[in-house]
Amino acid sequence: MPTRFSTCAGIVLCVVLFGGWSQGFAKDIAGSDIEDLKKQMALMEDQLRFLRQKVEQMEARPAVAPAAEKSPAVAEGEKITRLEEKVDAAVASSKKTFLSQFNPSLTLGIDTIGSYRSRNQGFNPGDGSGGRNDGRAFSNRPAGADFNLRSAELFITADVDPFTRAYAVLNASADAAGNDEARLAVEEAAMVTTRLPYNLTVRGGRFFADFGTLAHRHDPELPFVDRPPSLDAFVGGESQTNGVEVSWLAPTPFYLKLTGAVGNKLGGETPNGVPASQSRPIKGLTYLGRLLTYFDINDDHNVELGASVAETPNAEDRTNIGRFERRLVGVDVKYRWFPLGSGLRQSLTVAGEVLHDLGEADPVNGGRRVNALGSSVRQGAWGGYAYAEYRLSKAWRPGFRFDYFQLQSEPLLVTNPGTGQFGSTRNAVGHRTDNRTWSPYLSWYPSEFQRLRFQYNRADRGNANDVNEFFLQWTVFLGNHGHGFFERD
Amino acid sequence: MNRIRLLLLSVGLLCALALPAWADEKIRIVTTLPDLADIAGQIAGDAATVESLARGVEDPHGVPIKPSFIPKLNRAHLLILMGLEYEQSWLPALIDEARNPTIRKGAAGYLDCSVKITPKDVPGTLSRSEGDLHPSGNPHYNLDPEGGRAIAWAIFEGLARHDPARAPQFEANLNAFLAQLDAKMREWDRLSRPLKGLKVVSYHRDLVYFADRYGMEIVGEIEMKPGIEPTGRHLIDLVGRMKAQGVKVVIREPHFSEKAPNQIAAHVGAQVVTLPIMVGGAPAVKTYFDLMDYNVRAMLKAAQAAGVAGNE
């Protein structure tokens, strides 16, 4: 029994002791773990905070991969990709389109002249103002000094389609002698074919017909201030016509061009002619022809030869009722010495044109030339000019021009200014009834696009008093001022 | 009736005169400048006839518009040009008059070599107050041998397009040209080492590509602006800059006057050297290789005479 008791007591004691130890042990173990855990958690929290900061810092920075960690090939590839993106962006930006991209090429020529003349123009045409008075081929500019905005010419050109190009020249002049009001005129508006076979080209519309060398040039493109007086008298200023022209370039090793045209008129030839509202006989049209050739004597010397004809078989004058034939022929020559690479840019041009006007027309007075009995008189008149221009340097070009023409109304329609007698062949001071003009001039080109020119005209007018004229011309070109084939030096 | 017979006879005679030109089977190439003609001749070989409109001694910007150019352009299969508005003042008028749709701008026979190069001096703003600018960039790229390479490639591609059957022949000629060019370029690189850093003044701004290739620095031009003759004030300023920067070599192109280059050179004690800018610009310059060779050697000689050539 005592054994059983002692056994139970022992068990209880053991349980108590073990329980007490185990409790104390557990208690010790539990305390250290928590501390450790707390430390670990604090550590982890620190690490987490550190990492969060790192992440935040990295997020704040642009994502750049460390180059060193990439292979050169990969880095190169990425570089190429970035470059391609830039190129694509640049190409895309260059592909912007504007409606104005198809606008034609524009050039504006502004031509202003200050002038002084000792007497009014009288029968002496050719101050270049283009002024006309009731069909007479001369300007009515008064004596004295004035300034004249001769032209503000807008030249417009573009291809129309694969077959045709077109151009127009609009001229607004504000002449002090014409009330100073600006007048806008369509000087040219024409279509030109570009793809016809057999070297053919057709031009149609309003254009300056291919007659001679200077008649089809616009005022600012002339080598002088004024148009040669003989051209003003015989052609009537510029060789403007409304019509159609066919030209053929001969398939020869040298330059040879044949041109034929038909139009309402030539220049100011028939200002009193048939109005558009009335019918015009076929023979009332003006028929034009021109042959032009050119030879290089060698690299430095060349010659250009041309012949022109304008025939109006049966012109009609509305004012001076009547019909008349008119034939104007001209021969022109141009010699040029242009030493390539002279280092001084010197050159010499000597050129001239001889005109003969035959027929019943009276271009000076208009209408038909008649005798005292009213019968038609078929009569010829000679005229022409010659000039020489020496280019001293790129900027300076002095020149001299001589012009001569017979008054086509002679000897029937001249009134002697001294005696008032009609039908005189000599004027009061015994001058012949023709017109001679001597014109020294000097051009200065500060650049390709600007020119100043001084010119003196001494005109010996057979039927009027002599006149002295002084011109100072200032011309500029805005925009794309390319030299056309017909405006070449 | 007799008049009509005479007219028909005349037309027949003219056409007979033209027959020799039509009879040959060769490709008819017209180039604007002689450099293009030389390179085109080397690549086309005997398959083509090549003719340049401009001569090497003249001002390439102001070539006179001669009617004798018209028949050449009228019959040309290919028109090869520098582009970048180099020929702007004279070529468009000739093309309009030539009545040859094959060589009009944009057509297959219109071969603009500048499409193969990266232009320098592209103006930021376009105004005539800056002179006669080239809106697409400086067109004198023929004075860089790499420009010569670009021209050769452009001509080869144009020829191969025009006559694919003979493309292998053109390619062989191109490879021969490029091999010779590479060899020459190594020689010019070696010769030009003393020119590196050399400061120069030229008459016109046409040596940019040449100067960049061989490490020279262009301090200024005698022209006030491109195409504008110098004023006295401009020359005084230029002499001041030359003195300040130690410029001892003045370059004159053959088509410009000697007067201004000699004047400013005398003021600063500089050497004047005449450099052709095109093939044919000097008697000894008969090919494109001659041109580059002549220019590199002439520059070297001038720099040595002026005592400003660097060490090799």
In the structure, what pLDDT confidence band is assigned to residue B181 with cuts at 50, 70 and 90? very high
Q: Please tell me which of the candidates A344, A478, A483 has its beta carbon nearest to residue B65.
A: A483
Task: Give, for all 489 residues of chain A, the pLDDT tens digit.
Answer: 444 545 545 554 444 444 444 444 444 444 556 677 677 777 777 777 777 777 777 666 655 445 456 677 888 888 888 888 888 888 777 666 677 778 888 999 999 999 998 877 554 333 333 333 333 334 556 788 888 888 899 999 999 998 999 999 999 887 666 666 778 889 999 999 999 999 999 999 999 999 999 999 998 999 999 999 899 888 877 888 999 999 999 999 999 999 999 998 888 654 445 555 566 678 888 899 999 999 999 888 999 999 999 998 876 655 555 566 778 999 999 999 988 776 567 899 999 999 998 877 665 555 666 666 777 777 778 899 999 999 998 889 999 999 998 765 544 444 555 556 555 455 444 545 678 899 999 999 999 899 999 999 998 876 667 889 999 999 999 987 766 777 777
Residues of B in contact with A253 (CB under 8 A): 17-18, 20-21, 71
Distance between CA atoms of A287 and A274, rounded to whole angstroms? 16
> How close is the nearest chain B Cα to the Cα of A209, in Å?
16
CB contact under 8 A, A196 and B258: no
What does the block give as tokens for A135? 């069909």
Q: How far is B7 from chain A (nearest CA, A)?
A: 12
CB-CB neighbours of A459 under 10 Å: 27
- Rounded to whole angstroms, how far apart are CA atoms A170 and A109? 10
pLDDT tens per residue across span B35-83: 999 999 999 999 999 999 999 988 888 888 999 999 999 999 999 999 9
- Interface check B224 vs A, CB under 8 A: no
Q: What is the pLDDT of residues B193-218, one digit of tens each?
A: 999 999 999 999 999 999 999 999 99
| The pLDDT of residue B145 is above 60 | yes
> Measured between CB atoms, which of A341, A393, A448 is closest to B254?
A341
DSSP state of A281: -
Q: CB A447 to CB B257 under 8 A? A: no
What does the pLDDT read at residue A414?
A: 47
> So what's the ipTM on this one?
0.87
Q: What global pTM score does this model have?
A: 0.80
Q: Is the pLDDT of residue B220 over 80?
A: yes
The pLDDT of residue B155 is above 70: yes
Measure the CA–CA gap between B155 and B80, rounded to whole angstroms: 8
* Residues B51, B31 contacting (CB under 8 angstroms): yes
In this structure, which amino acid lies at residue A365?
Answer: N
Q: What integer pLDDT is reported at residue A463 of this predicted model?
A: 60
Q: What percent of chain B has pLDDT over 90?
A: 77
pLDDT surpassing 70 at residue B164: yes
CA distance between the termini of chain A? 153
Check CB contact under 8 Å for A302 and B68. yes
CB distance A294–B66 less than 8 Å? yes
| pLDDT exceeds 50 at position B160 | yes
Q: Determine contact: B58 vs chain A, CB below 8 A.
A: yes
Q: Which of B40, B96, B87 is nearest to B67 (CA)?
A: B96
Chain A residues closer than 8 Å to B228 by CB:
446-447
What tokens were used for B118?
């990266």
* Closest CB from A200, A296, A447 relative to B68: A296
CB contact under 8 A, B18 and A251: yes
pLDDT value of position A156 = 94
